[in-house]
Chains A and B, each alone.
Chain A
Amino acid sequence: MSELTPKMDGIVEAEITRTMGPWREAWRSFRKSKVAVVGMVIVLFFILLALFGPLFAKEGINEQMAADRLQPPSAEYWLGTDDFGRDILSRIIHGARISLSVGFLSVIASVIIGSFLGIVAGYYGRWTDTIISRIFDIMLAFPSILLAIAIVSVLGPGLENALIAIAIINVPNFGRLIRSKVLSIKEDEYIMAAKGIGMKDARILFSHILPNSMAPVIVQGTLAIATAILEAAALGFLGLGAQAPQPEWGKMLADSKSYLQSAPWTMIFPGISIMLTVLGFNLMGDGLRDALDPKMKN
């Protein structure tokens, strides 16, 4: 019997791994990290808040109760009210929608543009690579928030323009990441095999090289969403992002900064929201890195 047992284990193991693709295996190792799961729960909480919260938020976001200005948290106003008598909880719930949209949309845009430029630079090399890489270098030479401020100043302040600016400043990060990944993958034998089979460049690029370079992009993307939310809040705080009545978290911080002494809740709760969301994405990103890093495998 004792001889049989290890064999049985092997079979069970084989049954489990039988139809699992690389992504499902990554999910398995992701689940093992508690911290990453906590991060994911936080992120999911804010995503659900953004999607469904506004349906339940009892007060209108811009409904002003002049009589209830700067009320501390109470049964009626769970997180208190701001200087116009607006319910902070409602504003934070609606703000989640704004912050997460900015985070996701800007990162998706930079991933698409960055991947395209990076893959072209990495695969074709020579002068295309030189031109694209030098543009990335120039963009990376500026501190990113400074570049974002410059872009918003040109486009004019506003939430959409802040989103565009954040998308642009993240392009070189993804571009360089993909480029370096493509450079190593295109030397792999299965790419040589794909060419040998007679595949066209487009097929090799998008069906073979791109999927194999996605793992670090997903990690970087998750972390970049956190940064993008922070940057959007920073631009909002500076008055370059979301405009006056919009309940954007950074803007809420800026509006309430003069009440830090007298009504600290006006500042603390938007601040905690930003902090939690960013923390959630960072924890999740770290977990993804461990799960998707090929060096950790086997």
Chain B
Amino acid sequence: MTKTPLLKVNNLKKYFPIKKGLFGSTTGYVKAVDDISFYVHEGETLGIVGESGCGKSTTGRVLMRLIEPTDGIIEFDGKDLTSLSQEEMRKTRRHIQMVFQDPYASLNPRHAIGKILEEPLIVHGVTEAKERKKKVREFLEIVGLSEYHAKRYPHQFSGGQRQRIGIARALMTNPKLIIADEPVSALDVSIQAQVLNLMQDLQKEFNLTYIFIAHDLGVVRHISDRVAVMYLGKIVEVADSEQLYEKPLHPYTQGLLSAVPVPDPDFQKKQIIIEGDIPNPADPPTGCTFHKRCPFRMDSCMKVTPQLVEQSTGHSVACHLYVSEVDNDIKQLEGSL
């Protein structure tokens, strides 16, 4: 596995300034995305999970530069996206498309479906109207809708159908990478499965790469090859999907997994309850940001920020529990300097 990744993110940061007072002076920052690094290979699905407000949606938007990153490098297909001009970035967006969370809000209510699907082609220079119409028909069929749906308006569809339209729109420009920002969380469970299966079929057919953002671990397990767990703007654990679910290392991941309901009334499991709420992101705890809610808290957790360290092949975790005592002492010394 020495191939270069399709997307490689290094030390990505997005800080939102907090402005207060009459003259809007900056009094602090919300670190929505705080120094995260990851990579995605072609044809792979990376799941990003976390509670609301942990910065996973912001990450998705920063990757497309819909929100400008504060710092960091986003290397896509060998190009650093952060160094592109606005116009170059606009053109690059045909290769990276996004599927949005709310299928009721992500389609323009005044445009018919045909127009919504045609627009990406117009924008990216498909000048032949016949060709565009043909492609619209083709993709409507691919996502399981019919040709006559092109004349209808978004409010005449169900949530699942709209999300299919959203997916079709994302596919129109033949993108390489699709960032799916909670694409099924607004849908009924029965519809969720349909949409997820559709996304998997499309991935095989078009060799797509997905970044799949969700708060539902069950959904992510179903679709992801690898999963990154985010907490308060940081990635706390990354692993292959199977490994993460079999052997979660970070106490936060363990807590999240034990909260997933199991459809078996006799099933007894060791519950790890995470107490308290997600801290105020404008004023995060010192050291490990999770230490206030962690059942295995140690002294060093309050002082030293743990780094993401690889424990076994492809399984990294940012937690002091898995760092040897010696390393800890050194880190503590560095921290106190």
Cα of A200 to Cα of B108 in the assembled complex, Å: 16
* CB of A197 within 8 Å of the partner chain: yes
Q: Once the chains bind, are B123 and A193 in contact (CB under 8 Å)?
A: no
Q: Once the chains bind, are B110 and A22 in contact (CB under 8 Å)?
A: yes
Chain B residue at minimum C-beta to C-beta distance from A209? B108
In angstroms, how far is the closest chain A Cβ from the Cβ of B108?
Answer: 5
* CB of A189 within 8 Å of the partner chain: yes
Residues in chain B near residue A208, CB distance under 8 A: 108, 111
Chain B residue at minimum C-beta to C-beta distance from A211? B110
In angstroms, how far is the closest chain B Cβ from the Cβ of A261?
Answer: 57
Q: Once the chains bind, are A196 and B109 in contact (CB under 8 Å)?
A: no
Residues in chain A near residue B97, CB distance under 8 A: 196-197
* CB of B136 within 8 Å of the partner chain: no
In angstroms, how far is the closest chain A Cβ from the Cβ of B159?
Answer: 14
Cα of A82 to Cα of B291 in the assembled complex, Å: 91
Partner of A198, one of B106, B111, B112, B123: B123
Contact with B along A190-217 (1 / 0, CB 8 A): 1011111111100100011001100000
Q: Once the chains bind, are A189 and B124 in contact (CB under 8 Å)?
A: no
* CB of A6 within 8 Å of the partner chain: no
Q: Once the chains bind, are B151 and A19 in contact (CB under 8 Å)?
A: yes
Give chain A's interface secondary structure class: helix
Residues from 160 to 180 in A contacting B, C-beta threshold 8 Å: none
Partner of B94, one of A18, A19, A198, A207: A198
Interface size class of B (residues with CB under 8 A): 20 to 34
* CB of A21 within 8 Å of the partner chain: yes
Total interface residues on A, using CB and 8 Å?
23
Contact with B along A12-51 (1 / 0, CB 8 A): 0000011111100000000000000000000000000000
Given contacts A18-B156, A193-B98, contact A198 B124 (CB under 8 A): yes
Cα of A192 to Cα of B106 in the assembled complex, Å: 8
Cα of A188 to Cα of B109 in the assembled complex, Å: 11
Chain B residue at minimum C-beta to C-beta distance from A185? B108
* CB of B105 within 8 Å of the partner chain: yes
Q: Once the chains bind, are B66 and A196 in contact (CB under 8 Å)?
A: yes
Q: Once the chains bind, are B112 and A197 in contact (CB under 8 Å)?
A: no
Residues in chain B near residue A198, CB distance under 8 A: 90-94, 120, 123-124, 173
Residues in chain B near residue A19, CB distance under 8 A: 151-152
Chain B residue at minimum C-beta to C-beta distance from A21? B153
Cα of A20 to Cα of B100 in the assembled complex, Å: 26
Cα of A261 to Cα of B61 in the assembled complex, Å: 74
* CB of B219 within 8 Å of the partner chain: no
Chain B residue at minimum C-beta to C-beta distance from A210? B110
Residues in chain B near residue A194, CB distance under 8 A: 108, 119
Partner of A196, one of B93, B101, B105, B112: B93
* CB of B230 within 8 Å of the partner chain: no
* CB of B102 within 8 Å of the partner chain: yes
Partner of B120, one of A190, A192, A197, A207: A197
Q: Once the chains bind, are B107 and A190 in contact (CB under 8 Å)?
A: yes
Partner of B119, one of A22, A189, A199, A212: A199
Q: Once the chains bind, are B105 and A190 in contact (CB under 8 Å)?
A: yes
Partner of B102, one of A18, A189, A195, A203: A189
Residues from 110 to 166 in B contacting A, C-beta threshold 8 Å: 110-112, 119-120, 123-124, 151-153, 155-156, 166
Residues from 232 to 281 in B contacting A, C-beta threshold 8 Å: none
Q: Once the chains bind, are B108 and A190 in contact (CB under 8 Å)?
A: yes
Given contacts A189-B105, A208-B108, contact A197 B151 (CB under 8 A): no
Given contacts A192-B66, A197-B119, contact A17 B169 (CB under 8 A): no
Cα of A35 to Cα of B166 in the assembled complex, Å: 41
Q: Once the chains bind, are A190 and B112 in contact (CB under 8 Å)?
A: no
* CB of B64 within 8 Å of the partner chain: yes
A-B residue pairs in contact (CB < 8 Å), sample of 12: A20-B153, A22-B110, A189-B101, A189-B106, A190-B107, A192-B61, A192-B106, A197-B120, A198-B91, A198-B124, A199-B119, A211-B110
Chain A residues proximal to chain B, CB less than 8 Å: 17-22, 188-190, 192-200, 203, 207-208, 211-212
- In order of increasing CB-CB distance, the 4 nearest A-B pairs are A198-B93, A189-B105, A189-B106, A196-B98
